Amino acid sequence: MTHALPVFDDVAAAAERIRSHAVRTPLLSNAVLDERVGGRVLIKLECLQRTGSFKFRGAFNALSQFDAEQRKAGVVAFSSGNHAQGIAEAARLLDMPATIVMPRDAPEVKKRGVISRGAGLKLYDRETESREEISNAIAAETGATVIPSYDHPHIMAGQGTCGLEVFEDLAEMGVEADQLACCLGGGGLISGIGLAAGELSPGTRLYGVEPEGFEDHKLSLQAGHRVESPRKSGSICDALLTPMPGVLTFALNEKQLTDVAVVTDDEAMVAVRFAFETLKLVVEPGGAVALASLLSGKLDGRDRTSVIVLTGGNIDPAVMSQAISA
C-alpha cells in the first residue's frame, strides 16, 4: 500500500488524538551541560514518556484511527523494543490484540515490557531472518494490520508531536533554537519533528544522530538515494539498528535535515553516564546519542542554542552498570 506523505496538519491532528494519553514531557536545561558544551542546551525528556520512549506517540496515533473491524483483528508490529512497547500499550488501551516481532538480541527489559502489556511476542534473528516477512505472514494468517515502526504517515505524524511541543514551549519561553538534534534510526521521529519545525521554527537546523556502522541515513543523504546500513547488528544502540531509511521518512528527511552526526558506542555510553550522574536521568544508549553528539563535539553547540531529545530510557541494568563503571 502506498501512503501519502504527512504534513503539518497531520501532526496537529495527532496532538489532539494523543493529548489525554501521552505525557507532555518537559523541556529543561542544566547548567553543567551548558558549561560543558559552551552554549545553551534545552533537553526534551522523552525518556519520561509513557512506556519510556517517544514511540508511544506514533503508536497511539496510528492505532486510534483503526476502524471497528481492524481493531477486532488486531495489530502486528516489528521492533527492537520501543515501538514494540508503544504498540503493546496503545493496543492495551484500545482493547486490541497485538503481536510483536522482536529480534532475539533485544534487551530483556524491552521484551518484558511487551509481555507485561499483554501482547504476544515472536522472536527472530536479525542476521538471517526478515522481520517484515514474518510480520506479513502473521498478518495474512490473522487478518491483523501491520504497523511499521517508522515508515507510516500516522506514525510519523504522531512522533512529530514531540517537536510540536518543543517549539510551542520555546515560543512560550521567548527562545529560538539554532539547532535540534535527535536519534536517527528509521527516521520517523526527525521527519515528524521536521514538519513541526517547518511550520513553527523554520530557522532551526535539524540534525540526526546515528551509531557508527549504522549510518544509513548519512550515506543516503550523501548518495541522494536510500542506501543500506553497512551492518545489521553489533551496536549497543539497539533502538537505532534499522537496515535502511524508510521510503516516506527519507522523502522528508532529505529535504529537512541539515546533516547527520555519527557517534561511537563508547560516546553513547559516556552520554548514558553523564545523563545518570549529572542530569539524574535514566537513558538508554540509543536514546542518548543526541546528547553524545554534543558531549563529543560531533555536533558543535558553542555559542548556540541547541535542543536535544533524550528519546528513550529502556535500558537493561547490566548495560547501565557497564556505563556507570566504565
pTM of the model: 0.94
By three-state DSSP, how is residue 136 classified?
helix
| Cell representation of residue 41 | 542546551
Examine the pLDDT at 1 and tell me if it is beyond 60.
no
Per-residue pLDDT of 36-63, as tens digits, reads: 999 999 999 999 999 999 999 999 999 9
* Domain pair 8-55+152-325 / 56-146, same fold: yes
Q: What is the mean pLDDT of residues 238-249?
A: 92
Q: What is the mean pLDDT of residues 257-271?
A: 98
Examine the pLDDT at 32 and tell me if it is beyond 80.
yes
State how beta strands 205-211 and 179-183 pair.
parallel
| Cell representation of residue 50 | 509513557
Per-residue pLDDT of 76-128, as tens digits, reads: 998 878 899 999 999 999 999 999 999 888 888 888 989 999 999 999 998 88
Question: How confident is the model at residue 127, as a pLDDT?
Answer: 83
Question: How confident is the model at residue 230, as a pLDDT?
Answer: 85
- Reported as half-sphere exposure (CB side, CA atoms, 13 A), residue 318 has a value of 4
Examine the pLDDT at 70 and tell me if it is beyond 70.
yes
> How large a percentage of the chain has pLDDT more than 90?
87
Report the C-alpha gap between 303 and 312 in whole angstroms. 27
233 band by pLDDT with thresholds 50, 70 and 90: confident
Examine the pLDDT at 2 and tell me if it is beyond 70.
no
Looking at residue 309, the DSSP 8-state letter turns out to be E
56-146 has CATH 3.40.50.1100 classification? yes
Mean pLDDT of all residues in the chain?
A: 95
Question: How confident is the model at residue 149, as a pLDDT?
Answer: 92
8-55+152-325 has CATH 3.30.70.120 classification? no
Of 289, 11, 30, whose CA–CA distance to 162 is shortest?
Answer: 11
Report the C-alpha gap between 118 and 93 in whole angstroms. 11
Please, which residues bridge with residue 2 across strands?
A: none
Report the C-alpha gap between 128 and 320 in whole angstroms. 29
Report the C-alpha gap between 214 and 242 in whole angstroms. 8
Looking at residue 39, the DSSP 8-state letter turns out to be S
324 to 31, 270, 277, 320, 321: CA distances (angstroms)? 21, 8, 8, 6, 5
Of 104, 63, 45, whose CA–CA distance to 80 is shortest?
Answer: 104
Q: What is the mean pLDDT of residues 155-173?
A: 98
Looking at residue 121, the DSSP 8-state letter turns out to be E
Q: What is the residue extent of each domain of the chain?
A: 8-55+152-325, 56-146
Per-residue pLDDT of 174-227, as tens digits, reads: 999 999 999 999 999 999 999 999 999 999 999 999 999 999 999 999 999 999
Report the C-alpha gap between 211 and 103 in whole angstroms. 18
Q: Which residue blocks in the chain are alpha helix, DSSP H?
A: 8-18, 31-37, 55-63, 68-73, 82-93, 108-116, 131-142, 153-173, 188-200, 216-223, 247-256, 265-274, 289-296, 317-325
Per-residue pLDDT of 134-145, as tens digits, reads: 999 999 999 999
- Of 15-24, 153-162, 231-240, least confident by mean pLDDT is 231-240
Question: How confident is the model at residue 257, as a pLDDT?
Answer: 98
Question: How confident is the model at residue 251, as a pLDDT?
Answer: 97
- Of 93-102, 226-235, 296-305, least confident by mean pLDDT is 226-235
Report the C-alpha gap between 80 and 261 in whole angstroms. 22
Question: How confident is the model at residue 109, as a pLDDT?
Answer: 86
Place of cell 559516556: 270
| Cell representation of residue 224 | 541522494
> How large a percentage of the chain has pLDDT more than 70?
99
Question: How confident is the model at residue 110, as a pLDDT?
Answer: 87
The amino acid at 225:
H
CB 185 within 8 A of CB 31: no
